[in-house]
Chains A and B, each alone.
Chain A
Amino acid sequence: MTVVDGAAAPRTTPPKTKRRHLKQLTVRDRVSLGLMAGIPTLLTVAFVWVPALASIVLSFSSWTGFGDFSTIQWVGTENYKNIFTIYPPFDPAIEHNLIWLAVFFVLPAPFGLFLAVQLDKQIRFSRIYQSILFLPVVLSLALIGFMTELIFSPTQGLINNLTGHADHHVVDWMGDPHLNIWAVMIMACWRQAGYVMVLYLAGLKSVDPSQKEAAALDGANGPQTFRHVVWPALRPINVVVLVITVIESLRAFDIVYVINKGTNGLELLSVLVTDNIVGEASRIGFGSALATILLVISLAFIVPYLISMFRKDERE
Chain B
Amino acid sequence: MTTLTTERPGRPRTAAPAPGDRRPPRAGRAALHVFLIGTCAVWLLPLLYAFYTALRPYADTQKHGYVSVGGHFGFGNFTAAWDQAQLLHYFWNSVLITVPALVITLWLSSMVAFVVARFNFKINIALLMLFTAGNLLPQQALITPLFKMYQMIPLPEWLAASGKLDDSFLGLILIHVAFQTGFCAFVLSNYMRTIPKELGEAALVDGASAWRQYWQLVLPLCRPVLAALATLEFTWIYNDFFWATVLMQTGSNRPITAALNNLQGQFFVNNNLISAAALIVAVPTLVVFFALQKQFVSGLTLGANKG
Contacts and interface: CB of A to CB of B under 8 A. Distances in A.
Answer whether A and B are interacting partners.
yes
Interface of A: 1, 3-5, 18-19, 21-22, 24-26, 28-29, 32-33, 36-37, 39-41, 43-52, 54-55, 58, 65, 115, 118-119, 121-125, 128-129, 131-143, 146-147, 149-151, 153, 156-158, 161-162, 166, 187, 190, 194-195, 198-199, 201-203, 205-206, 209, 212-214, 216-217, 222, 236-237, 240, 243-244, 247, 250-251, 253-254, 257-258, 269-270, 273-274, 276-278, 284, 287-288, 291-292, 294-295, 298-299, 302-303, 305-306, 310, 313-314
A215 to B, nearest CB: 9
A199 B144 CA distance: 33
A48 B144 contact: no
Interface in B138-154: 138-149, 151
Please tell me the size bucket of the interface on B: 35 or more
Given A36-B214, A147-B47, A151-B49, 9 more contacts: A29-B210, A33-B115, A44-B178, A46-B178, A118-B32, A206-B8, A236-B305, A244-B304, A273-B141
Nearest to A225: B22
What secondary structure prevails in chain B residues at the interface with A? helix
Given A37-B116, A190-B43, A199-B301, A291 B140 contact: yes
B162 interface: no
**5 tightest A-B CB contacts, nearest first:** A213-B20, A140-B239, A54-B145, A47-B178, A202-B301
Interface string B284-307: 011011000100110011001111
Interface of B: 5-6, 8, 11-13, 15, 19-24, 29, 32-33, 35-36, 39-40, 43-47, 49-50, 53, 61, 65-67, 108-109, 111-112, 114-116, 119-123, 125, 127-134, 136-149, 151, 174-175, 177-179, 181-182, 185, 200-201, 204, 209-211, 214, 235, 238-242, 245-246, 257-258, 260-261, 264, 270-271, 274-275, 278, 281-282, 285-286, 288-289, 293, 296-297, 300-301, 304-307
Contact of B296 (A138, A190, A247): A138
A273 B120 CA distance: 41
